[in-house]
Structure 1
Amino acid sequence: GLGQAFTDQYGDFEGTLAEVLEMPSRNNYRRALFVASLNAVLRYLGKTDGTVHCKDEEPTLCAARLRDHLKSHYKGAKVAQVGFQPRIIEALSPIFDLRVTDLDADNIGTRRFNTLIEGPEAANEIIKWADLLLVTGTAVVNETIDQFLGKKPVIFYGTTIAGAACLMGWERFCACSK
């Protein structure tokens, strides 16, 4: 099967599943290898799909579908978006009270589609403020996921979380992934 996982630590790897399982998960690169492998295996077994990222115009289409889903299920909700995904910000900001937090220093402090991108130090405040958490699946790789679970309703987005969401029963939205 095919599986992807996004990370801030890139690299090449060629090896067996056994080698991936034996590898200590001490950094984002190694955790991403594990998560991508999990996604590929679960896809191969027919347990999950949508493990390959969309491209071209599909992120815009996905964001519009997400907006429509949230309008029908979370109308009037205050939404905390965790992770910078510009098409989602563009689709949600005109309709929802939206706050966005990100780990990338290049994004923090900027305004996108009239929405301030806040840093990780604002995460707890944003979680308290929100009615709904819209969280990047990359949180499973960068070890920030625990701070979002069990506090408010959570919808994960993206391909990275496909396998973990399947195994854990977490809600995931990724309308255009392959």
Structure 2
Amino acid sequence: MTKEALFQTLKEKFEKIVKEQGLLEKSVKVSCRALSPQEAIGDTERKDFPILSGRDIMIQAEFEGGIGQAFTNTPAVFGGSIKEVLELDILNNDYDRGIFIAVLNAVMRRFQMCEMSIHCKDNGPEDCAVKAADYLWETYGNIKIAQIGYQPAILERISQRFDQVRVLDLDPENVGDVRYGVEVLDGIKDYESTVLKWADLVLCTGSTLGNGSIVNFLDIGKEVLFYGTTAAGAAALMGWKRLCFAD
């Protein structure tokens, strides 16, 4: 699936939902803003989460009590109607795409069409990582796992449990370093050799939806699990499998 096809499909599916809920005919409002690291992830003992360094920014949308979040590198503030959200250029404009994803998550959460749209905080990421490693071991056994996106808690836990783990990231400050006994590989240069040729299972950050690279992990002929909150709504709409133990 191309980026064009993916984002067009998401917009069409979202528009269908808001029409069914009668939201286009109402002057309903949504708001969206960037969160501070404290708001997004709370107080954590581990200090190497990318959000704590400012390299990742979380934005949050609210709609009638529904909260949706999305990681982005282009944070934006938005206040407007659902109709205005549907008019955003989510294919070519990174700001618009981040807003759309967060609002999609918030609206779908409001109508109980998706779950786990709010990032875990404080000790939550550590608990999630333990549960993720346990789930993967119990479900798949000692397989070869390619983790997409440097999420330190998950990487540490799965590298302790599984014999063969690789991690890919796009941040040049991470690539080439050894983290928890695993070298961080280049998300572009090492994609084919690791994801397509080596891995039995791909554990992919939903943040790839924000930059559109998620299409590189769709329909690749092997199991892919998306983790995190960014892809909560999209995963529900598209039938993607998620691995998330947040709220």
Q: Decide whether the 8 Å contact of 2:130 with 2:157 is kept in 1.
A: yes
- Larger-gyration structure (1/2): 2
1:123 pairs with one of 177, 191, 195: 191
Residue of structure 1 equivalent to 2:59? none
**d(CA) in 1 for partners of 2:105, 2:192:** 29
Equivalent runs, 1:64-79 vs 2, <5 Å: 64-79=130-145
Give me the TM-score of the superposition, normalised by structure 1.
0.96
1:15 pairs with one of 44, 65, 80: 80
**1:94 paired to 2:160:** yes
Equivalent runs, 1:8-157 vs 2, <5 Å: 8-25=73-90, 26-96=92-162, 97-120=164-187, 121-127=189-195, 128-151=197-220, 152-157=222-227
**d(CA) in 2 for partners of 1:24, 1:60:** 36
Q: Decide whether the 8 Å contact of 2:76 with 2:99 is kept in 1.
A: no
Q: CA deviation at 1:24?
A: 0.9
**1:167 paired to 2:237:** yes
What SS is found at the alignment partner of 2:211?
Answer: coil
**d(CA) in 1 for partners of 2:88, 2:218:** 26
Question: Which ranges in structure 1 are unaligned for 5 or more consecutive residues?
Answer: none
What SS is found at the alignment partner of 2:114?
Answer: coil
Percent sequence identity is 45
Give me the TM-score of the superposition, normalised by structure 2.
0.70
**d(CA) in 2 for partners of 1:148, 1:98:** 17
Q: Deviations over 1:48-74 (max 9, x none)?
A: 121110111110000000000000111
Question: Which ranges in structure 2 are unaligned for 5 or more consecutive residues?
Answer: 1-65
* Aligned residue-pair number: 177
Higher strand content, 1 or 2 = 2
Q: After alignment, is 120-129 or 56-65 more displaced?
A: 120-129
Q: CA deviation at 1:28?
A: 2.7
What SS is found at the alignment partner of 1:125?
Answer: helix
The structure whose RCO (Cα within 8 Å, separation 6+) is larger is 1
Q: Decide whether the 8 Å contact of 2:226 with 2:240 is kept in 1.
A: yes
